[in-house]
Amino acid sequence: MSELTRETVEAAIKEYVEPHLGRDLVSTKSVRTVEIEGDQVKVGITLGFPAKGAASGIAEAVKQHVEALPGVSAAQVDVDWEIRSHSVQKSLKPIDNVKNIIAVASGKGGVGKSTTAVNLALALSAEGAKVGILDADIYGPSQPRMLGITGKPESKDGNSLEPMNSYHLQAMSIGFLIDEETPMIWRGPMVTQALEQLLNDTNWSELDYLVIDLPPGTGDTQLTLAQKVPVSGAVIVTTPQDIALLDARKGLKMFQKVEVPVLGVVENMSIHICSKCGHEEHIFGEGGGGRMAEQYGIQLLGALPLDIHIREETDSGKPSVVADPESRVSQIYREIARKTAAKLSLQAKDYAAKFPRIVIENN
């Protein structure tokens, strides 16, 4: 009988490909501890992404692989997570108290980008992360309505704003500062300046992720934002039809140009399920998001149905993930959140905070 060692246990764990990472837990350096006492093994796994809804499944899968080893009578597997800061565009430095910024973008309007952004933020929170959302859609801010927030943010020092809170999310939007029906008749430079102020002058509190709901399109405003906001990764939202995909590809290429990694694509309104008879129909075409993901070597993070409840719940200020946490749609959003955060966890870490600043003075 071969002797049990950390190496043999890790070799067994390596056989299991974690579905959100798409890789094994050994090569991603997620195996923290391996303790062997006779024929009993204790394994500690620390993931780089929040996984409240998947931790028990991951633990069970690892346990089965370890217990399949000859000489092992029982295995105990504990799974937790630690979210690190990841690197941003070379010319920018991360924002204080925000570990990672995830931009949610779309090439065109009307594809459900804001709905996806708010549910992604809520799903990351439900998975165990500390999350904020910044509504950067200056011309059409919708997050105040979607999160059911009224009133104006406070300023304790007259210079910075306190984020508004809803469903454990920290939120900031130009919509908190103006009347809902007031049109923003601003030129591009004013928009980018306003966004930079909202981002930098908000007292975010120890966020793991800040989700930014970007304006639709790939014009001057979006490009400036992509160059000035320190983003760790981007998510592209599209619908399956060719016109939306055409614009989504432009969004993807814009992020590639400014060296922001695209974490994946979300296909919205992918299938319509008739509420009367249950008939399923691909109203906007089929599999477009998947084909785009394959073409550009990125991940299809998930596909969401065209569902009246998503619209009703978001319009009423209680998005799907909090309105009905056990629904199929909420589970899809949570899977998208885990995959997004897992993909981000594989990016390069940001070590800048660990190094002291060196100041040279002439005495």
Any known ligand binding at 270?
no
Write the CA distances from 202 to 88, 143, 171, 172, 338, integer angstroms.
Answer: 20, 16, 9, 8, 26
Neighbours of 197 (CB within 10 A): 13
302 annotated as a binding-site residue: no
- The response to whether 287 counts as a known ligand-binding position is no
* Long-range residue pairs from 179-188, CB within 8 A, at least 24 positions apart, any chain: 180/144, 180/145, 183/139, 184/138, 184/139, 186/138, 186/139, 188/219, 188/220, 188/221, 188/224
Cα atoms in the 13 Å half-sphere on the side-chain side of 71 = 12
270-299 residues labelled b (16+ CB within 10 A) or e (exposed): bbbeeeeeeeeeeebbeebbeebbeeeebb
Task: Judge whether 111 is annotated as a binding position.
Answer: yes
317 appears as a binding residue in the annotation:
no
The answer to whether 114 is a known ligand-binding residue is: yes
29 is in an annotated binding site: no
Rg (CA), the chain: 22
Is 132 annotated among the ligand-binding residues? Answer: no
Annotated binding site: 107-114
Annotated binding site for ATP: 107-114
